[in-house]
Amino acid sequence: MNAERLEFIRRLPKAELHLHIEGTLEPELIFRLAQRNGVILPYPSIQALRDAYEFTDLQSFLDLYYAGAAVLMTEADFYDMTMAYLARIAQDGVVHTEIMFDPQTHTERGVPIATVFAGIARALREGYDTWGITSCLIMSFLRHLSEEAAFETLEQALPLREQYADLWLGIGLDSGEQGNPPEKFERVYARCRELGFYLVAHAGEEGPAAYVSSALNRLNVIRIDHGVRSEEDPELLKTLAARKIPLTVCPLSNLKLKVVNNMREHNLKRLLDQGLCVTINSDDPAYFGGYLLDNYIAVADAFALSDEDLITLATNSMQSRFPVFLDRRS
Ligand code: HPA
Ligand code: ZN
């Protein structure tokens, strides 16, 4: 790609809507935090850890992702991780980011949920002051755990809601999809809806199109994370297009986790051409080989996208932000 085109994409105002903050932990930072906290890593070097990032499917990635997140112990760790991500995306023309985090990954290890919120939030507020990047938080439940565990996490987090009212706006659902359908979380999502959170869920990454329908109809989500397997159900595609439900597609993630074998085989251009609200996102950039701009470049190259297509993708992302987020300037 020539420098002029790269600069065109970089300068497009872009929103990132599908990003797991624990997935931004670069091997260098994992090693630094492990040393700071006296955590022993099962890898002799940074390079050995990076070399282990060869995945066969979602679960093979999740095993490393949860192991990497185990170095996060203190407020400063969550702050450092989030600041490193913001500093990185500030160079990429990202103006807004909606960040998922998995409290259960940390509370299970004895880290208080207040520590998780405090470190991430301090960085997001500072990131706004430093780079003008607006942001919000999507607290996500781990779907391989029970709905009861999700309710417990919600109860632990709710006392913090007022303190983070400027940031904590959303609820998400992530981790191993197969065998953990959205409807497993129907009651806790109904509660979160009553509480006024915006709802999203991963569906149709490895799981079938039926999971996308279930996320829409039983969880009442306003966006679908991934959703690429929706294409298997033409009626569902019509509904997604008619209701303008955004899909937060993550091209490099799909390639690394072998949802597709080759970027040219990805269906995002077909979905776009069928009128779906496709957005481009990075998912877990430290593990999948690229941040948001790298994902745009990868699809622009693979599909020889026109400037118009790229503008559509970036505009979709800006229009698919949560409809109201409290502006810290006011
Ligand atoms: N899918 C499901 N769960 C996740 C992912 C993902 O891509 N990344 C982090 N948790
Ligand atoms: Zn994801």
Q: What is the pLDDT of residues 106-121, one digit of tens each?
A: 999 999 999 999 999 9
- Asked if residue 329 has pLDDT above 50, the reply is no
224 inside domain: yes
Q: Calculate the average pLDDT of the chain.
A: 96
Rounded Cα gap, residues 30 and 81, in angstroms = 9
329 inside domain: no
162 inside domain: yes
328 inside domain: no
Q: Which ligand ends up closest to the CA of 259?
A: 1
pLDDT of residue 328: 52
What one-letter code names the amino acid at 152?
E
Q: pLDDT tens digits, residue range 151-196?
A: 999 999 999 999 999 999 999 999 999 999 999 999 999 999 999 9
pLDDT of residue 330: 41
Q: pLDDT tens digits, residue range 250-296?
A: 999 999 999 999 999 999 999 999 999 999 999 999 999 999 999 99
261 inside domain: yes
pLDDT range class, residue 59, cuts 50, 70, 90: very high
Q: CATH number of the domain that 274 lies in? A: 3.20.20.140
Rounded Cα gap, residues 211 and 183, in angstroms = 8
Which residues on adjacent β-strands are paired with residue 134? 96
Rounded Cα gap, residues 87 and 101, in angstroms = 18
For the chain, how far is it from start to end, CA to CA, in angstroms?
Answer: 41
pLDDT range class, residue 325, cuts 50, 70, 90: low
> For the chain, how many structural domains are there in total?
1
Catalytic residue among 22, 26, 205, 206: 205
Query: Do residues 228 and 265 lie in contact, with contact meaning Cβ atoms separated by under 8 Å?
Result: no
**Average pLDDT, stretch 33-55?**
95
| Residue-range definition of the domain harbouring residue 278 | 3-319
What one-letter code names the amino acid at 70?
A
The Cβ-side half-sphere exposure at 83, using a 13 Å CA radius, reads 14
Say if ligand 1 is within 6 A of residue 281 CB. Answer: no
72 inside domain: yes
pLDDT range class, residue 323, cuts 50, 70, 90: confident
- Asked if residue 84 has pLDDT above 60, the reply is yes
81 inside domain: yes
Question: Of 16, 25, 58, which is best to mutate to test ligand 1, by the most ligand atoms within 8 angstroms of its C-beta?
Answer: 58
Ramachandran angles phi, psi of 224, nearest 5°? -115, 125
Overall size of the chain counted in residues: 330
325 inside domain: no
